[in-house]
Amino acid sequence: MKQFEVPSFYRSPIIGKVKAQRKLADPRKKDFSPSELTIGNITFIIPRHFGFCYGVENAIEKSYKAISENPTKRIFLLSQMIHNPDVNDNLQSYGLTFLQDTKGNQLIPFDSLTPDDIVIIPAFGTTLEIEQELRNRGVNIDTYNTTCPFVEKVWNRSEKLGELGHTLIIHGKHEHEETRATFSHSQKNAPSIVVRNMEETKVLSEAILGIVSEDQFWKYFENKTSKNFNFPEDLLKIGVVNQTTMLASETQEITDFLRETMILKYGEDQIREHIADTRDTLCYATNDNQSATYGLLENEADLAVVVGGYNSSNTSHLVELLERKFKTYYVKGASEINSRDNINSFNIHHEKIEQLNTFLPYKDQLKIIVTSGASCPDALVDKVIQKIVELHHPNETVENLLATLNL
């Protein structure tokens, strides 16, 4: 696996050593059981896999390379590099400016760009329409294009499926940058439709089976289909791909459900003619993060803390998994932990920050799960761990407690 040149302030003295030990002991990642790290009277349960993935490290390396190689040029990010506020804020501190927000709203008009400007394409990729808009203005978007290779893998698979006459079913959030980009690429080659969850998939299944009317179909999928989508003709032959940060298990569930739908309509002997096998498009890093989180669920703990940007899709899915069993707090960093009784935690269901008056239980020995999303630097996880240790051991210095670690 390639080693990326990521700024040292993103690295961590605690988590970095834990990961190095696990990598040495289990280089092929066959063991998804968590590690335990005891500091003072707290045992932190740390998943086998979390934090920066290949695509994120690639994007960060290229972004800082653009800064160092172009000291006299204007440098723009098409939108947020990744969904982490600390990373984006740091890049902006070097003078980088966003052209769009995460919803695709224009912050700086494209017609203000010149061929001398540098535009960085984020890890999520972008639409074909935006690519063409930038190229028409003479902007070089290839040198610092940080689109994740696993996102591009989905695009390439979509193209091949389209050539074989499949309609693309994209499991994702239709407003998310990556899904907008994937939709743009897929609809060039094939009819495409976005489904967010099993609820929408069941409606799609009923449309395939002829149970729902055309009006009912468009009620659910208006603005989520490609131009000139033909109902029901474009539902005869399908393939499922996903926004790489969605729950892989949910993508598989959606695929299996639609496969059963096709069997019901056409019979088992005709199934290969009506739905493609697309398991090879699932992102390895998302799979590893989620498998490691399932490993956490096999443990007992007093609470769980998930660290990451609040608009990070993959991080919100980790919260979704952990809160099935544990009291789970979702923070962007240690600054959200005010005291052992007070914490600002993001509620993924209401999409807002809540100030909660319960956090660390008043007991001597604590067991706490700590993890983070694929766009979160390990250094932020370190700071969260240190803040918790400081609150639970007010009469001891964090430095002294960390000095006892055998890492």
Instruction: Supply angle C-alpha 154, 205, 198, rounded to 5.
Output: 65
Strand 118-120 to 75-77 pairing: parallel
User: Angle at which helices 313-322 and 284-296 pack, to 10 degrees?
Assistant: 20
Dist. CA 108–CA 65, nearest whole Å: 23
Strands (E) across 93-234 are located at: 97-98, 118-120, 167-171, 192-195
84 dihedral zone (left: phi>0; alpha: psi -120 to 50; beta): beta
Q: Give the count of beta carbons closer than 10 Å to the beta carbon of residue 228.
A: 8
Dihedral Cα 332, 120, 374, 245, nearest 10 deg:
110
Residues 194, 179: contact at Cβ < 8 Å? yes
Residues 37, 403: contact at Cβ < 8 Å? no
- Bridge partner residues of 24 (DSSP): none
Give me the sheet containing 303-307, strands edge to edge.
35-39, 42-46, 366-372, 303-307, 328-331
Cα Dmax for the chain:
70
Helix (H) or strand (E) holding 264: helix 248-266
Q: Is 178 among the residues known to form the active site? A: yes
Which of 57, 177, 178, 250 is labelled catalytic?
A: 178
Q: Give the count of beta carbons closer than 10 Å to the beta carbon of residue 343.
A: 20
Active centre residues (catalytic)? 178
